[in-house]
Amino acid sequence: MNIRVLGCHGSQLPNFNTTSFLIGQNVLVDAGTITAVLSLKEQLMIDYIFITHAHLDHVRDIAFLADNICHQHRKKPLVIVSTKGIIDAIHRHLFNNVIWPDFSKIPNPRAPVIKFQIIKPGRRQKIGDLQVRAIDLHHVVETIGYVLEEKENAVIFLGDTGPTEEAWKIAGKTERLKAIFVETSLPDGLKDIADISGHLTPLTLAEELKKLTEVNPRIYLYHMKPNYRETIRKEVVAIKDRKIHIIEDGQIIRI
Ligand SMILES: [Zn+2]
Ligand SMILES: [Zn+2]
């Protein structure tokens, strides 16, 4: 499994993009950064986008991707995958013909540019070439993570989340689990804000990782607010009992 980090931050500054991971050539997890990084040819190859939640740093580039691939003679629609609640929020608040055109009906409702596909947490299903399972998380809005499995490997993308239980239990039972991508948005000095806004700091991350007893995947840290990146990096180094990899925009990770 090849994972290209198009963006891995919780906000935007020059050289720091919002969250989006390209899996192989045709699957994205989240859509914070697509169109400023991928060529049009690469954009046309995307078949599925797994969305963790409706916050703008995770969905905004669906809008520009849909616009770019419209009238490009694709045979299949671009499929946006998430729960019913998250899909409804994206449809109602982004593709609502006010903020942006409703590309699920353009150029016509029978052959639209984008199609929404609903996934229910807990149930494992085949989507494209991957086995996919959604996991409920704890953020300020409805949010899910994804277990993605191919033949030899499984990886977990946890979306934005504060402390949670179920996700770590599922991780512990996932066979051939090679990596977990987990957020740490804010430094420990802002733990109160992190707790209220459903995010982790290095301290709460360390507590979360203690829940992961049965498996030992690589831990990839992302979704830092860019202005706190260095503080978070120093605080994460102090977590001695586990090696944590802080990822960067543009990085390619081979699983
Ligand atoms: Zn976010
Ligand atoms: Zn969020």
% of residues, the chain, pLDDT over 70: 100
Per-residue pLDDT, 219: 97
Per-residue pLDDT, 241: 76
Distance 3 CA to ligand 2 centre (A): 21
Per-residue pLDDT, 39: 98
Per-residue pLDDT, 194: 97
User: What mean pLDDT is predicted for residues 84-111?
Assistant: 97
Distance 213 CA to ligand 1 centre (A): 27
Per-residue pLDDT, 123: 85
User: What mean pLDDT is predicted for residues 64-68?
Assistant: 98
Cα gap 136→76, rounded to integer Å: 29
Range in 18-22, 51-55, 114-118, 119-123 the model is least confident about:
119-123
Ion ligand 2 residues within 5 Å by Cβ: 55, 160
Predicted structure pTM score: 0.97
Cα gap 37→4, rounded to integer Å: 11
Distance 106 CA to ligand 2 centre (A): 28
What are the boundaries of each domain within the chain?
A: 2-254
| Cβ atoms of residues 219 and 243 within 8 Å | yes
Per-residue pLDDT, 108: 92
Ligand nearest to the CA of 224: 1
Cα gap 166→55, rounded to integer Å: 22
Residue 71: pLDDT band (50, 70, 90) is: confident
* CATH class of segment(s) 2-254: alpha beta
Over the stretch 175-201, which tens digit does the pLDDT of each residue have?
999 999 999 999 999 999 999 999 999
Ligand nearest to the CA of 20: 1
Q: Which residues contact 252 (CB under 8 A, 6 or more apart)?
A: 2, 3, 4, 5
Distance 32 CA to ligand 1 centre (A): 9
Closest of 185, 169, 181, 179 to residue 225, by C-alpha: 185
